[in-house]
Amino acid sequence: MESIPFLHANQVFNIFFVEDLAFAEVRAILDELLAQSAFDLKIQEAQGFYKIELAESSFQVWVSEMDVIIQRQ
């Protein structure tokens, strides 16, 4: 599993992934997570897993603090 720091919306996220992802996919996933307040620690305690559907792909995403693990379905 690879990881990269990723700057988006003036925040730095640690993105972990197994297969290559397009920058547009990562940005869209982060936008969806931000919209769902996934980086709020209280929400992370209740829900750390998300299923995100984009136009052509489906992803399982886990969030822990600013770490984001992305797996394509």
58 phi/psi in degrees, rounded to 5? -125, 140
Q: Quote the pLDDT of residue 15.
A: 97
pLDDT, tens digit, 9 for 90 and up, residues 14-68: 999 988 899 999 999 999 999 999 999 998 888 879 999 998 899 999 999 999 9
The domain tally of the chain equals 1
Looking at residue 8, its pLDDT comes to: 96
pLDDT of amino acid 38: 95
Q: Is 63 exposed, middle or buried, given 0-12, 13-18 or 19+ CB atoms closer than 10 A?
A: buried
Beta-sheet pairing, 58-64 with 11-17: unpaired
Range of the domain at 36: 2-72
